[in-house]
Amino acid sequence: MGQRYVPRFLFLVSMMNVTVASATEFPALRAGLWEYQRTTQRSDQAWEPKDIVERVCGDPSDMLKQQGEAFTKLGCVMTVEHSEADLTYGLTADCTTKNGQKIHSRSVTTFDGDSQYTSVIDSSGWLTGVAVQFAERVIAKRIGDCETKGQ
C-alpha cells in the first residue's frame, strides 16, 4: 500500500499520469485509506477496457497538488473551470512533448464531500509516433483510516 495512486490520464507525456491541476483549486479531501476504481481504454488497444482497483493510504489533496506541480514543470497550459453548484471541476491540459508533439486532455471531476470524487478523462496525442486516444473513468473513495505500524 506504499504506492501512490496516479490516474492514467496523460500517459502520453513522458508516461506521467495526472488528472488535476492543483489541489488548492479543489475541495479539501480527507487523508486516510482511499480506494481507486479505474477503467482505462486506449484506441491503440482496440478500446479494450481494463479495470484496476487500488488502495492507497495517504492524503489525496497533497497528491493532486504534487501532480499539478509536475504538469506545470512540463510546461503544460492548463485551464480549470468550476461549477460551485455541484462541485464539478473541468480541466483542460494542452502539452507539447520534448519531440514537439501536441497532447490534449480534458477531465471532469465531481467531488462528493471530502471523501469521494469521480473523474472522467479523455486524452489524445502521440505515443511512439502513433496517434492515440485514451479514456479513463475513476471513482475514488475514502474507505477508512490508515493502519498504524505496530497494530
Question: pLDDT per residue over 1-12, tens digit each?
Answer: 443 333 333 343
Question: pLDDT per residue over 89-136, tens digit each?
Answer: 898 989 887 778 888 999 999 999 999 999 999 999 987 778 999 999
Place of cell 487500488: 54
Q: Is residue 101 part of a domain?
A: yes
Q: Is residue 103 part of a domain?
A: yes
Q: Is residue 4 part of a domain?
A: no
Question: pLDDT per residue over 52-66, tens digit each?
Answer: 999 999 998 888 778
Place of cell 464531500: 113
Q: Is residue 29 part of a domain?
A: yes
Place of cell 497538488: 65
Evaluated on CA atoms 110, 112, 117, 120, the torsion sign reads: negative
Q: Is residue 14 part of a domain?
A: no
Distance CA 54, CA 77 (A): 29
Q: Is residue 109 part of a domain?
A: yes
> 138 pairs with which residues across the strands?
38, 119
pLDDT for position 49 = 96
Q: Is residue 6 part of a domain?
A: no
Q: What's the domain range around 126? A: 23-143
Q: For the residues 20-43, what does the mean pLDDT come to?
A: 82
Place of cell 497533497: 62
**Grid coordinates standing for 44?**
491503440
Three-class SS state of 73 = helix
Q: Is residue 11 part of a domain?
A: no
Q: Which helix (H) or strand (E) holds 144?
A: strand 130-144
pTM for this structure? Answer: 0.77
Distance CA 47, CA 85 (A): 33
Distance CA 17, CA 124 (A): 13
Question: How many domains does the chain contain in total?
Answer: 1
Three-class SS state of 57 = strand
